[in-house]
Amino acid sequence: MILGDVLLIVGGLVLLVAGGEILVRGSVGLAVRLRVTPAVIGLTVVSAGTSFPELVVSVVAAFRGSPDVAIGNVVGSNIFNLALVLGVCAVVVPLPVESKTARFEWPFLVLATAVTMLFMATGRMIGRPEGAVLLVALAAFTWAMVRLARRDVARQEAADREAGVGPGGEHPGLPRQVILVAGGLVLLLIGGNLIVDGATALARAVGISERVVGLTVVAMGTSLPELASSLIAALRGRTDVAVGNVIGSSIFNLLAIFGVGSLLRPLAVDPSFLASDVWWMLGFTLVLAPAFVYGRRVRRWYGVGLLAVFALYMVTLF
């Protein structure tokens, strides 16, 4: 029985990764056909793409009445991103922090984390009004980031448009991109349902809470795209992409997933989240301040420290 539950989770993760990759490819292709600039594509479609697995799993869990899995997936994914993903990447390659990330993106993540915690503590519920506020905040953040990107790369994008060059240097066919988007969404939905089924059944079989399963197995599994994409970017020298992906994905997790999930079905917050896990999430966000604000670099020893504290969190969780 336990083996079957694990296989459900693994199978769901495979479908999530495949569906997310297909959906991003199709979405980028559609954006190119619609003459959306590369900077906008990077800040919207691609940055959100690695968070699609978390979004689908949490929305499915919320809709099916498993709020602990939905909330645990978001909180656990952010802890995983900020501690494990950033820590591993920094150990491999020291990560410079761009001024835009230090001045705007990271402070916005701190604010989003604090506001989300406040919503959780107020009435032990993330309701539809709170979800609407989170989605409005996401729209405002995306708008501001797009404006900054357009200002920074306007000349290059103008040259690309004149040359008829988009991402990948080609203009893919519209029907193919629509099929890719639809197929990716189908795989994501199937994978999300399999993971929720496997996670809830596994929690019952081994006698642990859905909260712990959501914070560990589900969160780590759905965060694999962030780990893979950030690590590859760091190895290829694109450290700005590695850091930006982690921060952007964490913002998307809080605002988009809690926003959409609570609009579909208000999320009841287990007191255990408020007593421990969300404070760990806030702590991992704030502990980046010396590297992001002052040093402007996440050095190897800092990465080792992040991994050590993450290991401590795992020990306390179990």
Q: List the Cα angle 112/118/120 in 5-degree steps.
A: 105
User: Cβ contacts of residue 14 below 8 Å, gap of 6+?
Assistant: 191
* CATH of residue 193: 1.20.1420.30
Residue 50 or residue 104, greater confidence: 104
Distance CA(136)–CA(108), nearest Å, equals 14
Q: Assign 31 a pLDDT band (cuts: 50, 70, 90).
A: low
Q: How confident is the model at residue 108, as a pLDDT?
A: 94
For 87-91, 108-112, 240-244, which range has the lowest pLDDT when averaged over its residues?
240-244
Q: How many domains does the chain have?
A: 1
| pTM, 2 dp | 0.80
**How much is the pLDDT for 172?**
55
Q: Please state the separation of Cα 17 from the chain's center in Å.
A: 13
pLDDT of residue 8: 83
DSSP state of 216: I
Query: With 0-12 CB in 10 A as exposed, 13-18 as middle and 19+ as buried, what is 264?
Result: middle
> Residue 229: which domain range?
2-317
